[in-house]
Structures are given as C-alpha cells and as structure tokens.
C-alpha cells in the first residue's frame, strides 16, 4: 500500500500561527511537522515531503487517525481533502476538533460514503460537555472524490462557522449567556482527521453495507493550516478569548457570506435537527433554532 517515496507519519509538532485573517482556499501546512498518527499508524502515510497525506480503511476494525500535537482554544483550522472514490458505502471520513474525555466539546465535519453514483452526505455537529444532537447535513454540489476541496472550521467566542471552499455552509452562534444554549468555551481542543467503518448506520441508515472487496478505502489530504490560540489548561482560556474581541472581524458573517450560506442551505441541506422533533428534548424545539445564527 505504501510506495517507495511514502513514509509513515509518526511524529511532529504544530506550527503555531495565530492570524486575524480568514484562511483562504489553500492549506499548506506540513503533516510531518504538525500531526501525529494516533490510531493504526500503519494505515497512514505522508508523501511529497510531508505536504500530502493518505489515511486508509482496510477492514471493519482497522482504519486510521491523525491528531495535532498541541491543543488550542479558538481559531481557524483548515485542510484540503479528496474523499474515497467509487463505492464508499459504510465508510466515514472525518475532519473535526475535540477535547479529551467523555464529556468532550467537539465540532464535526463527517463525510458519509455511499454506493457508486450516489452522493456523499456532509454531516456537521456540535458537542458541548458530551452532548450533541445538533446535526445538520448537506449533499455536495461538487464531486468530493474528483479533486481536493477545502474544509474549514472557524471557532471563536461568538460563533462557530463551517466553510467549504471558502463558502460558509452553517453557523452556530453563542447564546449561552443570553439564552442558556450550551456553547464550547472552556475545554482546549485538538484537530483530528480519521477514516473508519460505520456500516451499521453511515449509508442510508445502515441499509447499504460496505463492500470489503473494494478495500483499502483511501482518503487523501493536501496540507493543513492551524491558525489557533495555543492553550492546554484553564489559565489560558481567558487570554485566548481576548484575542477575538473584535466583533466585526470574528463575530458576524458579511452580507455576501450570509447570502451564500442561505442560498446553499435552501438548495443542498438535507437534514436539520431544528425541524426534527425526534431530536428534541421533551418535545421542546431547541431555543437556538428560533434565533439568528449569523
């Protein structure tokens, strides 16, 4: 599976670069320098001097995962991904941020595979203290297996925004103080990417199983940019929050971005927890669903 010029990813350190500007379409960081392989490293390899990376799923119990070495509170994380081509049913490729422990905070991009000719599902979610149930899903308006596309998560004290190729697809605003809506503010997170098997639920609710004769299933990455505020304990949380005090820069979408997001959601959104009573607690629509998210 590994060519002569590939090299298993075993160690490295994040290049810290807190920046005010939004990450563009390129993600140029080096995987050797910035990430470790933390699960099944034999199924993870970097090449092109560490600028590119592949993660492989070889069986229903053997995928792969990488993780940034340093933790952070707030910032923008970005990578370019080319998803598993062909029959990818039952596979899940991810790019997300998460804290440690059972009561984790987490911000998700998950890409649920499908049969050949059927579209992927782009799945987003937020967990706070281990509680999620804030899923929003999209069908892609492009072929995510034909080329690399940029996936970006922006996390500030004001809001979380998910971007694809620079276009916002979803925003989740911080209404914790004003309306009691849980929002991740205190637990430092790592950045993760992984590929794993989930044929019991990932494709059409588990009705379509993985064709293991097609293994290995390989997702490819091109660069990773982490423009973040490094933080590994409670003492630095307030300092990181202070770096994002500019409301106009960090706490709102531009009018153009808002139009882009609303247009994309009206056409390509296929699931929203805000209109699914099965996801509501005690039959009550979540408070944030009636509030602006931009």
Residues with catalytic function: 106, 110
State whether residue 288 is helix, strand or coil: helix
State whether residue 28 is helix, strand or coil: coil
Going through the chain in order, the beta strands assigned E by DSSP cover 7-8, 35-39, 44-47, 52-57, 64-68, 72-82, 91-98, 106-112, 121-127, 136-138, 149-155, 159-164, 167-173, 190-197, 217-230, 269-272
Per-residue burial over 72-92, b if 16 or more Cβ lie within 10 Å, else e, is bbbbbbbbbbbbbbebbbbbb
Cis amide bond preceding 216, omega within 30: yes
3-class SS shares of the chain: helix, strand, coil, % to 5: 20, 40, 45
Give the sign of the dihedral formed by CA 165, CA 24, CA 81, CA 64. negative
User: Measured between alpha carbons, how far apart are the two ends of the chain, in Å?
Assistant: 44
- CA 131/CA 76 separation, integer angstroms: 22
- CA 13/CA 147 separation, integer angstroms: 27
């Amino acid at each position: 599976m590994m060519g002569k010029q590939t090299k298993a990813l075993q160690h490295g350190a994040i290049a810290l670069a807190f920046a005010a500007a939004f990450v563009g379409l390129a993600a140029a960081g080096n995987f050797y320098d910035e990430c470790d392989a933390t699960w099944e490293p034999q199924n993870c390899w970097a090449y092109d001097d560490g600028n590119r990376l592949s993660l492989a799923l070889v069986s229903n119990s053997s995928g792969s995962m990488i993780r940034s070495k340093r933790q952070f509170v707030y910032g923008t994380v970005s990578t370019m991904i080319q998803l598993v081509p062909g029959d990818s049913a039952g596979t899940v490729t991810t790019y997300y941020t998460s804290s440690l422990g059972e009561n984790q905070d987490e911000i998700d991009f998950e890409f649920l595979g499908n049969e050949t000719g059927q579209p992927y599902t782009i799945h987003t979610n937020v967990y706070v203290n281990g509680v999620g149930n804030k899923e929003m899903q999209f069908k892609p308006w492009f072929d995510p297996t034909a080329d690399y596309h940029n996936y970006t998560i922006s996390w500030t004290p004001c809001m979380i925004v998910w971007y694809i190729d620079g276009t916002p697809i979803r925003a989740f605003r911080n209404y914790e103080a004003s309306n009691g809506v849980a929002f991740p503010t205190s637990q430092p997170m790592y950045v993760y990417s992984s590929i794993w098997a989930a044929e019991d639920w990932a494709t059409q609710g588990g009705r379509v199983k993985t064709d293991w004769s097609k293994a290995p299933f390989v997702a490819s990455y091109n660069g990773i940019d982490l423009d973040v505020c490094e933080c590994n304990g409670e003492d630095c949380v307030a300092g990181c929050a202070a770096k994002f005090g500019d409301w106009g820069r960090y706490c709102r979408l531009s009018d153009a971005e808002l139009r882009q997001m609303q247009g994309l959601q009206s056409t390509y959104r296929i699931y929203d927890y805000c209109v699914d009573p099965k996801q509501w607690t005690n039959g009550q629509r979540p408070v944030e669903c009636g509030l602006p998210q931009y």
